[in-house]
Amino acid sequence: MTLPALSHTVDRFPGSAADAAVLVVPDTAAFPEALEDYPGLAEVLTAIGFTGSASAFARVHLPSLTSLPLAVVGAGSTPDGAAVRDAAGAALRTLTGFGHVALDLAGDLDQFAAEAAEGAVFGGYRFEGYRAKPGKSRAGEVTVHSESLSDEDVSRARILGDALALVKDLVSVPAEWQSPAELAQSAVDAVADLDVAVDVLDEAALAEQGFGGVLGVAQGSDRPPRVVRLDYSPADATGHIALVGKGITFDTGGLSLKPAASMVGMKFDMAGSATVLAALRAIASLKLPVRVTAWMCITDNMPSGKATRPGDVLRMLDGTTVEVLNTDAEGRLVLADGLVAASRERPDVIFDVATLTGAVLVALGHRHTGVMGDDEAVAEYLTVSEQTGELAWPLPLPDYMQESLDSPIADMINANMGDRAGGTMFAGLFLQRFIGRTSDEDDAPRIPWVHLDVAGSAEHGSSPYGFTDKGPTGATVRSLVAFAEARAQEA
């Protein structure tokens, strides 16, 4: 990964050791008061027609203010933390070719200095990739000039930046170099310097323990599956959050083969596992007093003479039998095993994260995460997602659809081939059946659970915006961390 180093100072950028400067400003309605500390800048921006609209970017020349190359970026008409985060991210993403950038905040935007620091780190990320010649470099160092920014704010911004970068790095690796075993090793390496226990289950252990969903999806591939359990359990933990991630390292659809165009990009079908790994690593790095257990359910989904056939029946970890009608609805099969395993430890809440359904793109587009599950837990997640600026939207789990999961020969089917409507909700209802109870009593309530369908939000396919590049986004990582922080504060 390539991330800028981050520091802060109370000095303004004219005295900085940087070689370029960025100023975040509100829209022109706030001029000239917001720019009273920057003589002549309001007139220059007005002359060039700069409006200060959200993430608007312009290079200006004002040697009377600073000898540094100067850029301004807009925070919009009603700037808040999310707008300032996006503005700083857009600036660091756009202003290339400078090694050290000084970032300043005009007017009362200094109250959002922590968000600006986050945006600067997020926007400064770059995946170098496999090009023969590297592209234009982004800043290797950013200094945020603020009177309110603390060392803790800077540390948190860097930790969150590292978490997003980990997801983006893992998702960007071609599947040829990221087998289930290699992704499992990446997980081990990612937490090697933290107080996190790791257990990697290979194909023999999975068969012995009965992970029938993972093994059923994996059996068409020459590369055996892995399930990785990571456990951050501080001595002062006051609660327990479980995270389960879908980790399909390449998804051809199996024997229900995808069309060629739909198969492009399917290396990113392991984004859910990368997300839960990154969230746990960030929570452990922040030393939050909350126990977090993450389950990464990792396999290929390939067609071969060994592959699961439509009509085959798989037995999940809890003994539930599933008639597989569509081998391209494989994510819910591996998640089912992960949810059962997570439930056995009876955490306070379970999250699963998955690039699960194309239907969620139809319903919510490419930026919103679909959220389903227990009403109270969903509401709690939506609150923190709004605070972090990550777009999310609740979807129902209607009881009337339960009968559509019925199979004539097994406990349930994995896909309703006769009716494709409501595919995202069907998948959510399927997963709900694998959430365990809060106690051994048959009538005990299910463990609170939140399902995050990131099939749209985990990858951005069009023009960059804010701190978001084209490509993997790291969606839901920051909200999961914020959820853990909120639980820690409650305790």
Catalytic residue status for 332: yes
- 440 contacts: CB under 8 Å, gap ≥ 6: none
Do 468 and 89 form a contact (C-beta atoms < 8 A)? yes
Is position 330 annotated in a ligand binding site?
Answer: yes
Catalytic site includes residue 258: yes
Q: HEC string of 358-392?
A: CHHHHHHCCCCEEEEECHHHHHHHHHHHHHHCCCE
Does the annotation flag 33 for ligand binding? no
Buried/exposed 61-74: b ≥16 CB within 10 Å, e otherwise: ebeebbebbbbbbb
Of 243, 349, 343, 256, the closest CA to residue 296 belongs to: 243
- Contact yes or no for 326/417 (Cβ under 8 A): yes
The SS3 call for residue 330 is: coil
CB crowding 176-194: b at 16 or more within 10 Å, else e: eebbbbbbbebbeebbeee
- The reply, when asked if residue 251 is annotated as ligand binding, is yes
- Residue 245 CA to residue 338 CA, distance in Å, equals 8
Q: How far are the Cα atoms of 86, 135, 242 from residue 112, in angstroms, in the given order?
A: 11, 31, 31
HSE-CB of 389 using CA atoms within 13 angstroms: 17
Select which of 156, 168, 332, 433 is catalytic.
Answer: 332
CB half-sphere exposure, 375, CA atoms < 13 A? 2
Annotated binding residue 269? yes
Q: How far apart are CA 173 and CA 195, in angstroms?
A: 27
267 appears as a binding residue in the annotation: no
Q: How far apart are CA 174 and CA 232, in angstroms?
A: 29
- 338 CB burial (10 A radius; 0-12, 13-18, 19+): buried
The residue annotated as part of the active site, out of 258, 367, 437, 446, is 258
The residue assigned the tokens 């084209």 is 470
List the one residue out of 412, 383, 355, 339 whose CA is nearest residue 479: 383
Q: Which helix (H) or strand (E) holds 281?
A: helix 271-285
Residues with catalytic annotation?
258, 332
- Binding site listing: 246, 251, 269, 328, 330
- Binding site listing for Mn(2+): 246, 251, 269, 328, 330
